Amino acid sequence: MTVRVVLADDHQLLREGVAALLDRTSDIEVIAAVEDGVAAVDITSELGPDVVLMDVSMPVLNGIEATRSIVREQPAVRVVVLSMHADPHTVSTALAAGASGYVLKGCAAAELVAAIRSVAGGRGYLTPAVTGGVLRELSELRSTVVPALTSRERVVLQLIAEGHSTGAIALLLGISAKTVGTHREHLMAKVGVRSVAGLTKYAVRQGVTTLDHGE
């Protein structure tokens, strides 16, 4: 079970150095090293590696776009982005493009190996220096794209997901059925869904209810 790796970076010295480092590891094999994004896409579709180690800044086609292309065409291939910078924007763009891992060029060889093994195993890898920013970005996106639910809405969501009818919820909460309907509409609008089925899935994902019993 060796992990087959394609390396894409526009600096020859880095390519050779990283290849040497990785080849010291018995379970990782560098099967190709290319110097631009187009070559990375081509060689990946030809060789079908397990992991592509992708530099961000490359001529012809940058690493982000190359990642997007590879992930779209070969979802089984995992991409680890190798970058000089830890700025949250680059990181989240790379991850949005479909990268499974993100490591900095300043990292130790051991970390690079850990990242490759992690993504080859189907997990992800984020170098500690960027995780904070990613989490912050994530929560910001969550709150702007998906507005926070109000406490009342959360209660109604839970009851809906538990299978209660509008009338039943109104009785339980001691409010009018009309109000429950309004809450439901607000919920659907916020969650971006237009059915009880969608609301229920959202509730399950959010942990507001369980999948346990039928309702």
Q: Tell me which residues touch a second copy (CB under 8 A).
A: 160-165, 191-202, 204-205, 211, 214-215
141/148 with CB nearer DNA: 148
Q: Which does 24 bind (CB under 5 to 8 A by kind): DNA, a second copy, none?
A: none
Task: Using only the alpha carbons of the chain, give its radius of gyration.
Answer: 23
C-alpha to C-alpha distance for 203 and 187, rounded to whole angstroms: 11
Kindly state the smallest distance separating residue 48's Cβ from a second copy, in Å.
Answer: 26
Kindly state the smallest distance separating residue 189's Cβ from a second copy, in Å.
Answer: 12
Residues at the interface with DNA (CB under 7 A): 147-148, 150-153, 165-168, 173, 175-179, 181-185, 188, 194-196
Q: Which does 175 bind (CB under 5 to 8 A by kind): DNA, a second copy, none?
A: DNA
5/169 with CB nearer a second copy: 169
C-alpha to C-alpha distance for 7 and 116, rounded to whole angstroms: 12
Q: Which does 35 bind (CB under 5 to 8 A by kind): DNA, a second copy, none?
A: none
91 burial (CB, 10 Å; 0-12 / 13-18 / 19+) is buried
C-alpha to C-alpha distance for 85 and 107, rounded to whole angstroms: 11
CB 139 within 8 A of CB 132: no
Q: Which does 78 bind (CB under 5 to 8 A by kind): a second copy, DNA, none?
A: none
26/151 with CB nearer DNA: 151
Kindly state the smallest distance separating residue 167's Cβ from DNA, in Å.
Answer: 3
129/173 with CB nearer DNA: 173
C-alpha to C-alpha distance for 96 and 180, rounded to whole angstroms: 36
26/205 with CB nearer a second copy: 205
What is the residue whose two structure tokens read 């299978």?
A: 163
CB atoms within 10 A of CB 86: 16
Strand order in the sheet with 101-104: 28-34, 3-8, 51-55, 78-83, 101-104, 125-126
Q: Which does 1 bind (CB under 5 to 8 A by kind): a second copy, DNA, none?
A: none
